[in-house]
Amino acid sequence: QFLQKYANHPVYNPPRGPELNAKNWQAEAALRMFLNNLTDEVAEAPAELVVYGGTGQAARTPDDARKIIEVLLELEEDESLLVQSGKPVGKVRTHPEAPRVMIANSNLVPHWATWEHFNDLRKRGLIMYGQMTAGSWIYIGTQGILQGTYETFVACGEKYFKGDLRHRLLVTGGLGGMGGAQPLAATMAGATFLGVDVDPERIRKRLETRYLHKMTEDYHEAKQWVLEAKEKGEAVSVGLVGNIGDVLERLLQEGIIPDILTDQTSAHDPLNGYVPVGLTLKEAKELLSTTPEAYKERSLKSMARHVGCMLEMQKRGSKVFDYGNNLREFAQQGGETDAFRIPGFVPEYIRPLFCEGKGPFRWAALSGDPEDISVTDEALKTLFPENKHMIHWLNEAEEKVAFQGLPCRICWLGMGEREKAGLLFNQLVREGKVKAPLVIGRDHLDCGSVASPYRETEDMKDGSDAVSDWPLLNLMANTGGGATWVSFHHGGGVGIGYSQHAGMVILADGTDRAERCLRRVLYNDPALGIFRHADAGYEAAQGNAEKFGLDL
Ligand code: NAD
């Protein structure tokens, strides 16, 4: 009955309300968030179990999805489910303060960690690409990256445009699951925006969810709209159907140089993500299924040309940065030897936040009632009245962000703040101020949870970019601390071979048990970020270690 109502593949739908379907709230939370990842409003392609980020999946096959649901419905508080690359493989004996689900996705022994080997295993049904929050069941739709993108654009404005992005044109490629946050983040920051995507359906989804203002298939129309808006200083966002490589070339030919230029196509996967130039979507699909080698070659060459245009724009004054999709590496493989002249966004804008243990803290209302998120927003504003930046962000988000699936919120918080917020949420549940428990999680893109030399750990002060002991320590700390589910993945963001990272989600159900777990996990998790950056020699992190009494 439950399966028919909530998980009749490909129609998934999280249950809402205060009633349990599982035997306890810990398993119920995992169940609701798993189904939320796959629901139509949230997932980019639910029929293929694809949530976002190219082929990032929540479960390996529809049968595995069904089995995960069946086990979660029966799971006791002294058992934990083990999930191997989207397939439930067994239960182990644990205890009520241990994670209810432990997940490992896409991990390969380093020597074999290539897309070729991975794709071969995937074809044989042995592995799944988990991206970051797809396979770890805490994707919350495009809002999940919205604040990070907003912070990045604002930081760019502060560094290069005297803190004012009005009369500035920001151009980018890719309006998919995560890339779709760019238009709203850009307009919130005051800029005029042009985003290019080959797939009109993806652009339409951003219009429907109010992330984007206008869409067109006509280059000239798009150009006219954005140039007029830029002139008037209007924060207008335009989605243009096309290949970003082509559009950049035309802009260059016409001498139109964006003030800011980045990219969020799924370049991390040259086969199942990036669409080469000169092919319609249909032709691209055909080429991929008949001759993948030829597809890959075209893909790499197109990325080289795409980055070549970005470098030319950079020479002509554009502020260009890589936005975490490994475009530079694959452009280099395609022949663009200067690709790494483009800086990565983490060293450029985000690392100072990581040194404070700050990162993308997020939560979801399991009740399904948007009013519960309003209650949490107001409670946070009262808890941190001095944090004007956060209050501005929450006000903007309340007004402009449309929920997808279960109502949720993202808000970057640091060491100390995360623990206080978690305990406050537990209190709200205990006192019945919200209608059902809340779950708290984060992206794997966080201060102490990821090793990714072309992204989060690019250009570390001590050269320790590729050391992946840190995300493993993060996983162990959060498992020991009692997160409600934990995960360890490989290849998220930048693709197979290039990253390893850990995820965690923790339930606030108003109990004393939850309070103990929250105190440990929401202390340990950001502390790992401070340990990692202090150890690498960042003075700001060393200062924060002292400020928060972390025993280095
Ligand atoms: P997605 O697969 O949902 O969307 C990618 C989009 O790119 C699709 O809409 C596709 O049609 C479009 N596209 C592909 N090739 C194109 C081309 N040549 N020209 C124009 N459009 C093209 O992926 P997503 O979830 O939006 O993630 C995008 C990328 O960003 C991924 O590589 C992902 O790993 C990375 N990522 C970065 C961050 C970050 O914090 N910076 C976070 C998450 C994901």
pLDDT(421) > 90: yes
Q: Among 420, 540, 463, 446, which residue's Cα sits nearest to residue 501?
A: 446
Q: Tell me whether residue 374 is in a domain.
A: no
Say how many Å lie between the CA of residue 313 and the centre of ligand 1: 21
Q: Residues 164-218: pLDDT tens digits?
A: 999 999 999 999 999 999 999 999 999 999 999 999 999 999 999 999 999 999 9
Sign of the four-CA dihedral 319, 324, 327, 328: positive
Using CB atoms within 10 A of its CB, is residue 153 exposed (0-12), middle (13-18) or buried (19+)?
Answer: buried
Q: Using CA atoms, how far apart are residues 238 and 241, in angstroms rounded to an integer?
A: 10
Q: Residues 127-153: pLDDT tens digits?
A: 999 999 999 999 999 999 998 999 899
Find the domain containing 213 and state its range.
143-343
Q: Using CA atoms, how far apart are residues 171 and 62, in angstroms rounded to an integer?
A: 38
- How much of the chain, in percent, has pLDDT values that exceed 70? 100
Q: Using CA atoms, how far apart are residues 113 and 494, in angstroms rounded to an integer?
A: 13
Task: List helix spans (H) across 384-505.
Answer: 388-400, 417-430, 469-481
Q: Residues 254-263: pLDDT tens digits?
A: 999 999 999 9
Q: Tell me whether residue 319 is in a domain.
A: yes
Nearest-CA residue for atom 37 of ligand 1: 324
Q: Tell me whether residue 238 is in a domain.
A: yes
Nearest-CA residue for atom 40 of ligand 1: 324
The beta strands (E) that lie in 324-437 are given as: 361-365, 408-410
Any binding-site annotation on 268? yes
**226 close to 270: Cβ distance less than 8 angstroms:** no
Say how many Å lie between the CA of residue 69 and the centre of ligand 1: 29
- Could you give the number of structural domains in the chain? 1
Q: Residues 358-385: pLDDT tens digits?
A: 999 999 999 999 999 999 999 999 999 9
Residues 6+ apart with CB under 8 A from 292: 271
Q: Residues 501-544: pLDDT tens digits?
A: 999 999 999 999 999 999 999 999 999 999 999 999 999 999 99
Any binding-site annotation on 12? no
Tokens 């030319």 correspond to: 312
Q: Tell me whether residue 400 is in a domain.
A: no
pLDDT-derived band at 222 (thresholds 50, 70, 90) equals: very high
CATH number of residue 197's parent domain: 3.40.50.10730
**226 close to 234: Cβ distance less than 8 angstroms:** no
Model confidence, pTM = 0.94
How does DSSP classify residue 356?
Answer: T
Nearest-CA residue for atom 38 of ligand 1: 324
| Cα distances (Å, whole numbers) of residue 121 to 37, 127, 187 | 24, 6, 42
Indicate which atom in ligand 1 lies nearest the CA of residue 326. Answer: 32
- How much of the chain, in percent, has pLDDT values that exceed 90? 98
Q: Among 221, 220, 223, 204, which residue's Cα sits nearest to residue 212?
A: 204
Say how many Å lie between the CA of residue 381 and the centre of ligand 1: 33
Nearest-CA residue for atom 13 of ligand 1: 265
Q: Among 246, 175, 178, 242, which residue's Cα sits nearest to residue 212?
A: 175
pLDDT-derived band at 97 (thresholds 50, 70, 90) equals: very high
**88 close to 58: Cβ distance less than 8 angstroms:** no
Indicate which atom in ligand 1 lies nearest the CA of residue 323. Answer: 41
Residues 6+ apart with CB under 8 A from 529: 354, 355, 357, 358, 359, 415, 446, 447, 448, 449, 541
Q: Which of 309, 355, 408, 411 is catalytic?
A: 411
Say how many Å lie between the CA of residue 332 and the centre of ligand 1: 18
Any binding-site annotation on 404? no
For residue 352, cis peptide bond before it (omega within 30 degrees of 0) = no
Indicate which atom in ligand 1 lies nearest the CA of residue 180. Answer: 26
User: What's the mean per-residue pLDDT of the chain?
Assistant: 97
Q: What was the pLDDT predicted at 389?
A: 85
| Cα distances (Å, whole numbers) of residue 411 to 30, 142, 155, 209, 441 | 21, 13, 16, 19, 11
Our mutation pick for probing the ligand 1 site, out of 205, 264, 322, 455, counting the most ligand atoms within 8 A of Cβ, is 264
Q: Among 171, 478, 176, 151, which residue's Cα sits nearest to residue 346?
A: 151
pLDDT-derived band at 433 (thresholds 50, 70, 90) equals: very high
Q: Residues 308-353: pLDDT tens digits?
A: 999 999 999 999 999 999 999 999 999 999 999 999 999 999 999 9
Any binding-site annotation on 163? no
How does DSSP classify residue 110?
Answer: G
Q: Using CA atoms, how far apart are residues 132 and 444, in angstroms rounded to an integer?
A: 6
How does DSSP classify residue 551?
Answer: -
Q: Tell me whether residue 205 is in a domain.
A: yes
Which residue type does 208 have? E
Any binding-site annotation on 54? yes
Q: Tell me whether residue 491 is in a domain.
A: no
Pocket around ligand 1 at a 6 A CB cut-off: 44, 52-54, 145, 148, 173-179, 196-199, 202, 243-245, 264-268, 273-275, 323-325, 445, 493
Q: Using CA atoms, how far apart are residues 118 and 421, in angstroms rounded to an integer?
A: 39
Q: Examine the residue annotation and report whether 517 is marked as an active-site residue of this protein.
A: no
Any binding-site annotation on 324? no
Q: Among 197, 103, 116, which residue's Cα sits nearest to residue 441?
A: 103
Q: Among 5, 46, 36, which residue's Cα sits nearest to residue 363?
A: 36
Q: Tell me whether residue 204 is in a domain.
A: yes
Q: Residues 464-505: pLDDT tens digits?
A: 999 999 999 999 999 999 999 999 999 999 999 999 999 999
Any binding-site annotation on 135? no
Q: What was the pLDDT predicted at 32?
A: 98
Say how many Å lie between the CA of residue 498 and the centre of ligand 1: 16
Indicate which atom in ligand 1 lies nearest the CA of residue 131. Answer: 34
Q: Using CA atoms, how far apart are residues 367 and 436, in angstroms rounded to an integer?
A: 5
Q: Tell me whether residue 399 is in a domain.
A: no
Q: Among 465, 282, 436, 467, which residue's Cα sits nearest to residue 366?
A: 436
Say how many Å lie between the CA of residue 266 and the centre of ligand 1: 3
Q: What was the pLDDT predicted at 284?
A: 96
Indicate which atom in ligand 1 lies nearest the CA of residue 277. Answer: 18
Say how many Å lie between the CA of residue 235 and the centre of ligand 1: 23
Is beta strand 169-173 parallel, antiparallel or unpaired with respect to 11-12? Answer: unpaired
